[in-house]
């Protein structure tokens, strides 16, 4: 796999993008650790906090195609810098928010817009513009692994900070950590760089989006990615609550989230190498089906700390490893000219599922006292996602000729 990344320039771009994603995703994916402390400190209630985090899931997805479109049009540098600053600002303001509306503003909007602008669509799109075709699959796997590494590092650090500094101090500390992404922007987007031209493949942004939304294979890809968002948002938001219901200490939740991130590093690298050897749709179908099997196994096992660790390792292997084959299929369908925008749209669908996963999880615990029906829904959606990917045809979509 790494033979394709031997070029110093390719490796520099790839590792820079992976580093930025490690910071933005590490901060974003660890927010579930703050749910209980924020509830204790503000008395807002789990349902209200879940709503704010559900809005964050939706906003993170909604900003992806918009940030991608701006990066496709003007270049990624300003988008990435602005995203990092907004993520830091949203984190810094959160301790001052003691209402649901305030929490929605800081975490649901500012932090989510910032992390979304510094996430997959812009980073993978920017890297694809500067990396040769033969190296893109491996590069996307490494970039994706960066996000998982961030989760692995951030979760236990933030848990320790919450215990030692309180949730407010931990949130302010996270705001400072996020700013470490700023020096890495130069590696992905050089100063003064703009979007490259693609003669012969540029049909205009709106025309490209319109034709993509009529493409059956692209819509099937969206359907599977919706389930991925539902699954991830439910777990990252409510896994600490599930651990608490089982009478286990908070450290089990933080280490489970860290194990998910660690396992996904290997999963992302493995899947990145698989893209060159197997059809991406089959890789996606296998990952979604494995999630259904793992959740079913979890439901019949005793709830111990080691059960959670093994469950986290199994799910973590496919956690966000769905991103490289999904991005590869979008590029295969439509090329790289508007990859940040068109892949951003799939991430928007991903986060529609994420909104429901985070919000319905909160409703489930309030209305039924546990997450049983959410687990059943997750299994069902994972099986449907596996089936949705099988009919996809992996070929370039014929483009209408661009008027002279």
DSSP 143-204: HHHHHHHHHHHHHHHHHHHHHHHHHHHHHHHHHHHHGGGGGGHHHHS-TT--PPP-TTT---
**Per-residue confidence (pLDDT) for residue 202, from 0 to 100:** 54
Question: pLDDT for 279-289, tens place per residue?
Answer: 889 999 999 99
What's the rounded mean pLDDT across residues 177-190? 87
Q: Which of 288, 316, 276 is nearest to 144 (CA)?
A: 316
42: enclosing H helix or E strand: helix 35-42
Residue with tokens 């008027």: 403
290 Cβ contact list (under 8 Å, min separation 6): 314, 317, 318
Give the residue, 103 or 401, on which the prediction is more confident.
103
Question: pLDDT for 356-377, tens place per residue?
Answer: 888 898 888 889 988 999 999 9
**Per-residue confidence (pLDDT) for residue 193, from 0 to 100:** 52
Q: How far apart are CA 245 and CA 266, in angstroms?
A: 30
DSSP 249: -
Indicate whether 403 pLDDT > 80: no
Question: pLDDT for 294-313, tens place per residue?
Answer: 999 999 999 999 999 999 99
Residue ranges and CATH numbers for the domains of the chain are 8-189+203-389 (1.20.1250.20)
Instruction: Tell me the C-alpha to C-alpha distance, in Å, between residue 242 and each of 45, 197, 245, 365, 391.
Output: 16, 49, 5, 9, 35
Instruction: Strands of 287-353 (E only): list them.
Output: none
What's the rounded mean pLDDT across residues 146-173? 89
Token pair, residue 360, equals 């319905």
Q: In the predicted model, what is the mean pLDDT of the chain?
A: 85
Indicate whether 3 pLDDT > 80: no
């Amino acid at each position: 796999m790494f033979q394709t990344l031997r070029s110093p320039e390719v490796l520099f771009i790839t590792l820079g993008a992976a580093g930025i994603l490690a910071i933005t995703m590490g901060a974003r994916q660890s927010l579930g650790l703050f749910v209980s402390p924020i509830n204790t400190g503000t008395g807002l209630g789990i349902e209200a906090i879940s709503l704010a985090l559900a809005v964050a899931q939706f906003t993170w997805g909604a900003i992806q195609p918009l940030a991608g479109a701006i990066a496709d049009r003007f270049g990624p540098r300003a988008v990435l810098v602005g995203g990092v600053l907004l993520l830091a600002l949203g984190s810094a303001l959160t301790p001052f928010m003691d209402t649901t509306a305030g929490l929605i503003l800081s975490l649901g909007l500012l932090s989510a817009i910032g992390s979304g602008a510094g996430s997959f669509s812009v980073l993978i799109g920017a890297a694809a513009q500067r990396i040769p075709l033969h190296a893109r699959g491996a590069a996307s796997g490494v970039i994706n692994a960066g996000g998982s590494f961030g989760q692995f590092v951030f979760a236990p650090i933030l848990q320790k900070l919450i215990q030692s500094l309180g949730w407010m101090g931990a949130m302010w500390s996270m705001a400072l950590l996020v700013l470490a992404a700023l020096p890495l922007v130069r590696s992905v987007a050089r100063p003064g760089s703009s979007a490259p031209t693609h003669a012969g493949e540029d049909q205009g942004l709106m025309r490209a989006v319109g034709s993509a939304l009529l493409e059956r294979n692209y819509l099937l890809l969206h359907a599977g990615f919706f389930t991925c968002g539902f699954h991830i948002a439910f777990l990252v938001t409510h896994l600490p609550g599930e651990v608490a219901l089982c009478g286990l200490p908070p450290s089990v939740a933080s280490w489970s989230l860290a194990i998910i991130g660690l396992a996904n590093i290997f999963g992302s690298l493995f899947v990145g190498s698989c893209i060159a050897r197997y059809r991406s749709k089959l890789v996606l179908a296998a990952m979604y089906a494995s999630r259904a099997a793992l959740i079913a196994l979890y439901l019949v096992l005793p709830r111990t700390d080691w059960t959670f660790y093994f469950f986290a390792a199994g799910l973590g292997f496919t956690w966000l490893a769905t991103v490289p084959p999904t991005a590869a299929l979008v590029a295969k369908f439509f090329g790289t000219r508007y990859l940040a925008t068109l892949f951003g749209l799939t991430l928007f669908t991903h986060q529609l599922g994420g909104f429901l996963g985070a919000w319905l999880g909160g409703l489930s615990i309030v209305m039924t006292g546990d997450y049983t029906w959410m687990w059943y829904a997750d299994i069902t959606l994972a099986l449907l996602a596996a089936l949705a990917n099988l009919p996809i045809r992996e070929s370039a979509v014929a483009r209408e000729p661009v008027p002279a």
